Amino acid sequence: MGQIEWAMWANEQALASGLILITGGIVATAGHFTQWYFGAYSIVAGVFVCLLEYPRGKRKKGSTMERCGQKYMTAVVKLFGPLTRNYYIRAILHLLLSVPAGFLLATILGTACLAIASGIYLLAAVRGEQWTPIEPKPRERPHVGGTIKQPPSNPPPRPPAEARKKPSEEAEAAEGPSAGPQDNPIPVTDEIV
Amino acid sequence: MESVGGWHPGHALLQLFLCQMLGLYTGWNPVSSTSLNNTVSSSVCGSCELSCCQEFWRFLLGLCLSRASASVLNLNCSLILLPMCRTLLAYLRGSQKVPSRRTRRLLDKSRTFHITCGVTICIFSGVHVAAHLVNALNFSVNYSEDFVELNAARYRDEDPRKLLFTTVPGLTGVCMVVVLFLMITASTYAIRVSNYDIFWYTHNLFFVFYMLLMLHVSGGLLKYQTNLDTHSPGCINLNRTSSQNISLPEYFSEHFHEPFPEGFSKSEEFTQNTFVKICVEEPRFQANFPQTWLWISGPLCLYCAERLYRYIRSNKPVTIISVISHPSDVMEIRMVKENFKARPGQYIILHCPSVSALENHPFTLTMCPTETKATFGVHLKIVGDWTERFRDLLLPPPSQDSEILPFIQSRNYPKLYIDGPFGSPFEESLNYEVSLCVAGGIGVTPFASILNTLLDDWKPYKLRRLYFIWVCRDIQSFCWFADLLCVLHNKFWQENRPDYVNIQLYLSRTDGIQIIGEKYHILNSRLFIGRPRWKLLFDEIAKCNRGKTVGVFCCGPNSLSKTLHKLSNQNNSYGTRFEYNKESFS
């Protein structure tokens, strides 16, 4: 239970509530119920909630599935900075948005669902979760031969790199005599038979 | 005929199911429609509102929509429990009563069927709620003083919201919608993949949903008239007030001025049918028997019985014989339990209260108990917090307490309970003459149990050739079953059936060590670097097994599964048919 990320569930709930609010609002305004202006409000609030909740936040551990086409809304939501990052603010916002829709019968369901989503966001905020945007990963250009810095300076037989490095450093530090372009780490004797 | 172009009987069943529901919805349920007719005609005709056509239509539409969607909901709420009776499905899969492979493959689709029913419940609940909200409004506006019992509202223009929250059906309905909302938002694919716990805990609220459903229909909103013979619809009540009193001669002249076109043979019937009756007594109404109880009691009892059986069966802990640590974060547990029988390919659910009191996790059996050996085992990959804690309990970290010898640790193993075994499509691989088994990483576990069974005795099964392809990212992973593969290979060589098992190992990561181990020559010579080329492989298998049906089984990442499914459905020039058997994981 300790590793559940509640914000993801709250996000799904808020998105669903937004859709329910829109549907209820359409029914209320199209049916010309009394107090139909609550229905119009419900449609506007539903659209706003859907747009705010569409980009999914990044999970702390592991990869997150993006919603299709969410990168455009991510850019917009990111602009508001701490207002959208903090889940306390989102919880209070959703609670306030849900209250006016509760006065009309057609939209009362949206109120209940958005209130529940607001509660779960509060829980997520209490546990210290935050909304982080999902950045597109920069495509890594494969560095062909990135580990190859320089071609080897000595012909074979070549000892491993560590043995090659040490004599050359010592030689540089001591400014010892350099016996020509080829430095043999192992002395080579020419056997004349 | 089965997988031509990707169509197969499971799709037909789904289409039949959808047509049935459409039939229920449009043709609506005869019982409820007669009662509906009586209700509506009694209340409407009796109060002479026939002239208000628009209101009548709205009344009827709201009631009909809610009744029709209720019928669909009845069907779905009863069917949705059946795919979750896993012990029953495992029994059906293994029993002789289901001889046809086609029927067994339908059982593979049980999870998909459950999800379809769930989505349908969601949609039709929306329709039902919308229709009832309209009804609530209508009941309060069109309160009928003449038929007080029929009204849902208690007085005229009662606030519909009060109707919603203070009546039993209204309140239970609202609670059910809230529960459904919680369950559905937690069941999306993204949540199941990332936070399975939320899905599992909210889904267990289904029991609350069913209890509320039983209460919801007991409210007795819809009534039927019990004394139709003494008070038929449209009869004249001579004791009524003046607003409704129509004098008899006027009535007769209005309705019977048209001459009857047909011959006298029907005249008696005609007079009987249209002879206006006088109401003998007041109408009496009685609530309909809640049909929903009949629909859902069967599956609910079956599901509860199954859960009880599983609880009793899993109450005895297993005895852990040994715990072996394998490379690449894999742990093998061998255990023993009395009266435990399993077929190769099945899986069990492990529950360890010392690790977590509420969580339980499924693992495929890698070794099944046989007649001679009662030990069975599972291989677990250490991936999440449950498996990490479990591993820490079973295999203490090597840095501490190195003086404690292994045999002392066996007395400190935590209590482990298992539930199962449950069936899976991989059981079918022994029933094909030729099978192609493709495993990705830890997905080799179901096939390991198949290989262990073949090692024990291969003759009783229909399988005569097995193509085993194992793709791994890490060379060390092959060590999990390297011994098993070598022993199996040697056994078939000794029995002069060298082509029974064809092993191909693929290492998808191309850098790093490329030898499994010095002693595994058999496997080293069958090791390929890079990913398999599936089209060539399928062509080769098709050419070597002309005209046969090859069962294709895949346990691995989704992309692999999709590729194989697509290739299995393609035609080839050798007349070989590939049947793809799919397992769904989350």
Kindly list the residues from chain A whose CB atom is less than 8 angstroms away from the CB atom of residue B182: 13, 116
Radius of gyration of chain B (CA): 33
Residue A32 domain boundaries: 6-58+66-127
Which of A1, A49, A103 to mutate to probe the B interface, most B CBs <10 Å? Answer: A1
Q: What is the pLDDT of residues A134-174, one digit of tens each?
A: 877 776 666 666 666 777 777 787 777 666 555 544 444 44
With beta carbons less than 8 A apart as the criterion, state whether B321 and B367 touch. Answer: no
Q: Which residue has the higher pLDDT, B278 or A72?
A: A72
**B188 and A112: CB-CB below 8 Å?**
no
Give the nearest partner residue to B161 out of A16, A59, A105, using CB atoms. Answer: A105
Task: Tell whether A115 is within 8 A of chain B (Cβ).
Answer: no
Task: Tell whether A116 is within 8 A of chain B (Cβ).
Answer: yes
Provide the mean pLDDT of chain A. Answer: 79
Residue A123 maps to a domain: yes
Q: pTM score > 0.90 for this model?
A: no
Kindly list the residues from chain B whose CB atom is less than 8 angstroms away from the CB atom of residue A56: 190
**B181 and A13: CB-CB below 8 Å?**
yes
Per the structure, the count of domains in chain A is 1
**B194 and A8: CB-CB below 8 Å?**
yes
Q: Please, which residues 129-188 of chain A have a Cβ atom closer than 8 Å to chain B?
A: none
Average pLDDT over residues A62-76: 82
Q: What angle do CA A102, A106, A110 make, to 5 degrees?
A: 55
**B133 and A105: CB-CB below 8 Å?**
yes
| Separation of CA B229 from chain center | 47
pLDDT recorded at residue B195? 81
Kindly state the tokens that stand for B258: 């048209």
From chain B, which residues contact A within 8 Å (Cβ)?
Answer: 126, 129-130, 133, 136-137, 160-161, 164, 174, 177-178, 181-182, 184-186, 188-191, 193-195, 197-198, 356, 358, 385
In chain B, domain spans: 4-167+221-226+287-299, 238-276, 316-422, 425-582
Q: Which residue has the higher pLDDT, B348 or A71?
A: B348
pLDDT recorded at residue A70? 82
Burial class (CB in 10 A: 0-12, 13-18, 19+), B188: middle
**A116 and B197: CB-CB below 8 Å?**
no
Q: Which residues of chain B have pLDDT under 70?
A: 1-59, 96-99, 140-160, 163, 220-225, 228, 230-280, 283, 285, 287, 397-411, 584-586
Query: B441-472: string of b/e by CB count within 10 Å (b at 16+)?
Result: bbbbbbbbbbbbbbbeebeebebebbbbbbbb
Average pLDDT over residues A96-125: 89
Position A121 pLDDT exceeds 70: yes
What's the CATH fold of domain B425-582? Answer: Rossmann fold (3.40.50)
Give the nearest partner residue to B188 out of A6, A12, A23, using CB atoms. Answer: A12
Residue A35 maps to a domain: yes
**B185 and A16: CB-CB below 8 Å?**
yes
**B178 and A4: CB-CB below 8 Å?**
no
pLDDT recorded at residue B247? 45
Distance from CA of B385 to the nearest CA of A (A): 8
Could you give the CA distance from residue A107 to residue B131 in angstroms, rounded to a whole number?
14
For A180, left (φ over 0), alpha (ψ -120 to 50), or beta? Answer: left
Give the nearest partner residue to B181 out of A27, A105, A113, using CB atoms. Answer: A113
**B190 and A56: CB-CB below 8 Å?**
yes
| Separation of CA A56 from chain center | 9
Task: Tell whether A16 is within 8 A of chain B (Cβ).
Answer: yes
pLDDT recorded at residue B104? 80
Could you give the CA distance from residue A15 to residue A37 in angstroms, rounded to a whole number?
22
**B178 and A112: CB-CB below 8 Å?**
yes
Could you give the CA distance from residue B114 to residue B66 in angstroms, rounded to a whole number?
23
With beta carbons less than 8 A apart as the criterion, state whether A134 and A68 touch. Answer: no
Please report the number of interchain residue pairs, chain A to chain B, with beta-carbon separation below 8 angstroms: 63
Q: How far apart are the first and last CA of chain B?
A: 29
Which superfamily is assigned to B316-422 in CATH?
Translation factors (2.40.30.10)
**Range ranked top by mean pLDDT from A55-59, A123-127, B231-235:** A123-127
Residue A11 maps to a domain: yes
Which stretch of DSSP H or E encloses residue B420? strand B417-422
Pairing of strands B361-367, B347-351: antiparallel
**B174 and A12: CB-CB below 8 Å?**
no
Residue A119 maps to a domain: yes
Give the nearest partner residue to A109 out of B177, B190, B197, using CB atoms. Answer: B177
**Reduced to 3 states, what is the DSSP secondary structure of residue A89?**
helix
